[in-house]
Amino acid sequence: MDNLKLEFWDYFWIYSIIGISLIVPIFISLKFSRNQNTIKKFFTAGGTIPAWAVGMSILATLISSITFLAYPGEGYSSNWIRLMQGIMVPVVLIFFIGFVVPLYRNVIKISAYEYFEQRFGFLARLYSSLGFFLAHFSKMGTVFFLIALAFSKMIGINTTEMIWIIGFVVLFITLIGGIEAVIWMDVIQGFTLIAGGVIVLLIIVFTTSGGLSAIWETAYDNGHTGFGPYKINFVQLTFVVMVLNGIFYAIQKYGTDQTIVQRYLTARSDKKAIKASLMGVFLCVPVWGLFMFIGTALFAYYKLGGGVLPANMEPDAVFPHFIMTSLPAGVIGIVLAALLAAAISSLDSDLNCLSAIFTEDYYIRFKPSSTEKQRVFVSKIVIVLAGLASIFVAMYYVQKEGEGVLGIVFTLYSIFSGGIAGMFLLGIFTKRANRQGVYIGIAACIIFTAYAMITSTKLGKGDEEHLLLDLGRYNFTHHKYMLGVYSHIVLFVVGYIASLFFKNDKNINNLTYAGWIENKRKIMLKNKT
């Protein structure tokens, strides 16, 4: 903040607000620390959370420092094409959320991947939960990195030191308060995040010469609006690529992702869980759009002479620079509190869910005679280890240069998605799919993903750059985001065809959409009689 001429009281208020935003989560976690002595209470709050709070928690879980910093960076450097992934979520969700929520609430205990074991066996559960672990470790590292980057730019704390400070707070909240503290903190942090974004956008609009109309005109003239290019091309990043990626992202996120599925279980009834899910989704899209448009507005702001950016500044650093140089001191504290809220609400949710997966999918399975006390203890050990692992992933990002962070996140999601949405669709919408066929589909998906990665990954720089494996015309040349599409299709198609050669060996009616419709019809007929 050396570009700001701040007085003592300016610094006092900024650091006071930051301190409060770090202390409040600790007190809330202490409030809910009592009775966290069973894994049901620790991971699902005993199904006692009201729908509106669950909905806000879903919003806060999906909105992190990635949204707060990477989306403005993307809006500043490009158009809104990457927003299409989020826009597709409510479009897809409206078709199956009314079935998926009661399905999970009736057939699983804690882990979303228990469904895959019931439908296709333990290997399917292992594979899907491993994909969740890998995807969320990479995401958590990104969240840690982005918030540390922002704070190092604005208050001068070393990036690595900031990662450890935030890591300590997040670990404390998650360890002490369980999912109950996580959700209620998400409620507070969700409102804080939205308020911070709205305040900043209003300041940009009112301090830009010509206001909103000038921002729009400048952004439009320079290609910073819209979702194009709109051509049918799978090699470049196009509208079609992001729509397809978004469809499978939505299916995987709301059909198989533990951070969302676990929240279905915390609501008081099926209807309230559905209501909470829809509330969270329909709030997320405007918030994603808000922060993307902040980046667009910043482009116009600097283009129209609102300030001068340092040479060679990365797009992800533009928003922190604006906060540091253009906002009143009091607002800086509010924005930093919102940024902390965004990061903490995402990280504590991920840690709680990673612990739930390990405890339910592995520990209890291999040690069924363990006591509740032992299970809660193991859950907390996993939280510590997972938190430390994600911190080390963040250290990697500190060394990363070049590609925007949002691009890295989407690429890693595409790689680690592993065709799980395809397996989910096989389980839900087909009766013919069976364990042996799906295992063959998983093998095909792994082979395809490995082929795509090694024939499209480049090593070295400049004249020394070369593919990890060059197969010439047989290289994978499509955009890497398409891995988040093709892997699901490969698993679905291969898994279904392979299933035709094997017989189903168990009753699966209660695990499929058709079976659910049939049971619902029988209940309606029974009620009429």
Count of all residues that appear for the chain in the document: 529
Give the integer Cα–Cα distance in Å for 259 and 381.
Answer: 19
> Could you tell me if residue 217 is inside a domain?
yes
List Cβ neighbours of 268 (8 Å cut-off, separation of 6 or more): 47, 48, 49, 50, 51
Maximum mean pLDDT: which of 18-27, 200-209, 305-314: 200-209
Amino acid in the structure at residue 53: A
413 and 428 together in one domain = no
Residues 408 and 427 in one domain: no
- Three-state secondary-structure class, residue 31: helix
* Pair of tokens at residue 149: 């980057």
Rounded Cα gap, residues 416 and 429, in angstroms: 23
**Beta-bridge mates of residue 466:** 459
Give the pLDDT band of residue 508 (cuts 50, 70, 90): confident
Average pLDDT over residues 88-97: 87
- Position 20 scores a pLDDT of 84
Token match 């209620």: residue? Answer: 184
How many CB atoms neighbour CB 178 within 10 A?
28
In a domain, 272, yes or no: yes
Alpha helices in 63-158 (DSSP H): 65, 71-77, 84-107, 114-120, 122-155
Which residues lie below 8 Å from residue 322, measured CB to CB, with a gap of 6+? 204, 298, 301, 307
Q: How far, in Å, CA of 65 to CA of 341, rounded?
A: 8
Pick the last residue of a domain from 372, 397, 417: 417
Do 474 and 441 share a domain, yes or no?
Answer: yes
Q: Is residue 38 part of a domain?
A: no
Query: Do 58 and 281 meet the contact criterion of CB atoms below 8 Å apart?
Result: yes
Task: Provide the CB-side half-sphere exposure for 169 (13 A, CA).
Answer: 25
CA-nearest of 304, 272, 251 to 89 is 251
pLDDT tens-digit map of 405-458: 556 666 776 677 789 999 999 999 999 999 999 999 999 999 999 999 889 877
Phi, psi of 467 (to 5 degrees): -75, 150
Look at residue 359 and tell me whether its pLDDT is greater than 60.
Answer: yes
Number of domains composing the chain: 2
In the numeric block, which tokens belong to residue 44? 């699902």
Interatomic CA distance for residues 409 and 416, integer angstroms: 11
- 410 and 464 together in one domain: no
As a whole number of angstroms, the distance between CA 403 and CA 405 comes to 6
Query: Do 98 and 186 share a structural domain?
Result: yes
What are the distances in angstroms from CA 299 to CA 175, 196, 478? Answer: 41, 19, 30
- How many CB atoms are located within 10 Å of the residue 439 CB? 19
Q: Are strands 458-459 and 466-467 parallel, antiparallel or unpaired?
A: antiparallel
Are residue 67 and residue 97 in the same domain, yes or no?
yes
Last residue of a domain, one of 399, 417, 435: 417
- Residue 501 counted as domain residue: yes
Q: Are residues 364 and 472 in the same domain?
A: no
b or e along 509-518 (b: 16 or more beta carbons within 10 Å of the residue's beta carbon)?
A: eebbbebbee
Alpha carbon of 244 to those of 452, 483, 518: distances in Å? 18, 10, 31
Q: What is the pLDDT of residues 371-414, one digit of tens each?
A: 988 999 999 999 998 888 888 878 776 765 444 555 666 677 66
Q: How many CB atoms lie within 10 A of CB 465?
A: 9
Single out the residue in 396, 417, 438 at which a domain terminates: 417
> Which tokens hold the place of 226?
């819209």
Task: Let me know whether 422 and 389 are in one domain.
Answer: no
For 331, what's the count of Cα atoms within 13 Å in the CB-facing half-sphere?
19
Q: Which of 17-21, 60-64, 450-454 has the lowest mean pLDDT?
A: 60-64
Question: Given this model, what pLDDT does residue 405 score?
Answer: 59
Q: Which amino acid is at 320?
A: P
Q: Is residue 72 part of a domain?
A: yes
Q: Is 424 found in the same domain as 277?
A: no
Radius of gyration of the chain (CA): 23
Contact 214, 208 (CB under 8 A): yes
- Nearest 5°: the CA angle 74, 77, 82 is 35
pLDDT digits (tens, 9 = 90+) for 284-338: 899 999 999 999 999 999 999 888 888 888 887 888 889 878 888 778 888 888 8
Domain-located, residue 428: yes
> What's the pLDDT at 321?
85
Same domain, 301 and 334: yes
Range of the domain at 480: 418-529
Indicate if 498 and 359 belong to the same structural domain.
no
Contact 263, 276 (CB under 8 A): yes
Contact of 65 with 152, CB cutoff 8 Å: no
CATH number (domain holding residue 138): 1.20.1730.10
Dist. CA 34–CA 253, nearest whole Å: 31
pLDDT band at 238 (very low <50, low <70, confident <90, very high): very high
Q: Is the Cβ–Cβ distance between 255 and 492 less than 8 Å? A: no
Phi/psi of residue 113, nearest 5 degrees? -85, -5
User: Is residue 51 predicted with pLDDT exceeding 80?
Assistant: yes
Rounded to two decimals, what is the model's pTM?
0.85
Average pLDDT over residues 80-90: 91
Asked if residue 1 is part of any domain, the answer here is no
Residue 199 domain-assigned? yes
Q: How many CA atoms lie within 13 A of 124 on its CB side?
A: 30
The CA distance from 330 to 495, in Å, is: 57
CA distances from 181 to 35, 109, 184, 344, 363 (A): 12, 20, 5, 12, 24
* 324 in the same domain as 197: yes
